[in-house]
Every structure is written in structure tokens, then in C-alpha cells.
Amino acid sequence: MRLNIGFLDDATRPTVPRIDGLTPAQRSAGEHLKEVHDHLRQNMQAIRSLIDQARAGLVGRDEVARETGDLTMVSNFRRFGNLCGQHCQVVNTHHSLEDAYVFPSLAAVSDGYRAVADRLQAEHVVVHQLLERQIETLNAMVADPSAERFAAAVEAFEALERVLLSHLGYEEDQIGEALGYYGLI
């Protein structure tokens, strides 16, 4: 499942000018967005670390269970499913809220923000497809814990990691300042 995700090329992403002179109160909305994204990044790093350790033969099933049990997201949502399922659900909910409420308001500000909002929504579609693929590969690995299934799950995770981390950074850079400046959140 090698993905050639050309839209991650920053040259293809619309941009808007920086906003100067934000007050601390206006800046706080973008800082909050980054905090939410940092939570997602931390969970991606934890999953990445476990994959790397498992690949190197440094951890087994018991260690993986112990490590994932300490993640904030898992402790908060343990009764609702597995680690990736939780991560996928949080990302999906975050993106759904942006698509329904933040991006339409942002698009009304200017043509430049409309182009950025449209691009972010298009990237959400790809992230959602990758989340679904991740769940499929993990379910297949649980059903048949072979080296091939592990490799497929890792490949799906790496595609998701690449796209999601790029997307989060682009989103923060393009709309973080505008959220507070225009009073969108």
C-alpha cells in the first residue's frame, strides 16, 4: 500500500498572509489548537515507539499492553475500544467539528481562507481513509498475527503518520492566528 501523497507538497497548498499584532487573547485560540494537535502527536509518537520496539524484538505483547495502558487517550477511553480505535475516533471527531463549524466560518472571511479551508477539508478526507485503512490492517493482524500482517499494519500507520503530522502543521500555520483574530473559537 505505498501511497504517493503528492498533496503533502507545500507548494500545492494554498496559503494566507500572517496576521500581525495579535493580542494574547487572540493568540490563545491558535495555541489551543496546537495543544489539541500536540495531544494527537504524542499518541502518534507513543504508537511509533511501540512499533519500533516490536520491530526490533525489544517488546512483546505484555510490554505493549503495559505501555499503551499508560497513554492519556487510552486511560480516558479504555472502555470504548483499542488504542488505534480511540486515536482514530479522536482524530475523526476533531476533524468533523472543524469541517462543520470552523472551516465554514473561516471560508466566509476571504477567498484566501476559503481556499485554505477547502484544502484542509480535502486533507480530512484522505486522513479519514487512512484511519479506516489503519483499523482494517490492525483487525487483520489480530485475526492473523503474522509478519505480513504486522508489516501491513506498520505501513498503514506510517502513511497515516506522514499525512496527519503534515496536515496538523499546515493547519496550525494557516489558521491558528485567524481563529482568535476573527473570533472563530
How many domains does the chain divide into? 1
Residue 145: per-residue pLDDT: 74
Q: Give CA 61 to chain center in angstroms.
A: 25
Residue 34: C-alpha distances to residues 3, 31, 91, 102 (Å): 27, 5, 14, 15
Domain presence at residue 57: yes
Residue 177: per-residue pLDDT: 96
Domain presence at residue 164: yes
Spatial distance between the Cα atoms of 152 and 165, rounded to a whole number of angstroms: 20
Residue 47: per-residue pLDDT: 79
Domain presence at residue 158: yes
Spatial CA neighbour of 118 closest among 4, 16, 3: 16
Spatial distance between the Cα atoms of 126 and 134, rounded to a whole number of angstroms: 12
Q: Write out residues in the chain with pLDDT < 70, as ranges.
A: 1-7, 59-88
Predicted structure pTM score: 0.81
And the C-alpha cell for 36? 489539541
- CA end-to-end distance (rounded Å), the chain: 38
Which phi and psi (to 5°) does residue 172 adopt?
-60, -45
Query: What does the pLDDT look like over 79-106, one tens digit per residue?
Result: 333 555 566 677 777 777 887 888 999 9
Domain presence at residue 174: yes
Domain presence at residue 79: yes
**Which domain covers residue 117, as residue numbers?**
23-181
User: CATH number for the domain including 42?
Assistant: 1.20.120
Domain presence at residue 13: no
Q: Which residues contact 51 (CB under 8 A, 6 or more apart)?
A: 154, 157
What is the residue type of 174?
Q
Q: Which residues contact 53 (CB under 8 A, 6 or more apart)?
A: 59, 63
Domain presence at residue 12: no
Query: What does the pLDDT look like over 141-166, one tens digit per residue?
Result: 777 777 888 888 889 999 999 999 99
Residue 86: per-residue pLDDT: 62
Torsion sign, CA atoms 76, 78, 83, 85: negative
Domain presence at residue 2: no
DSSP string, 95-119: HHHIIIIIHHHHHTT-HHHHHHHHH
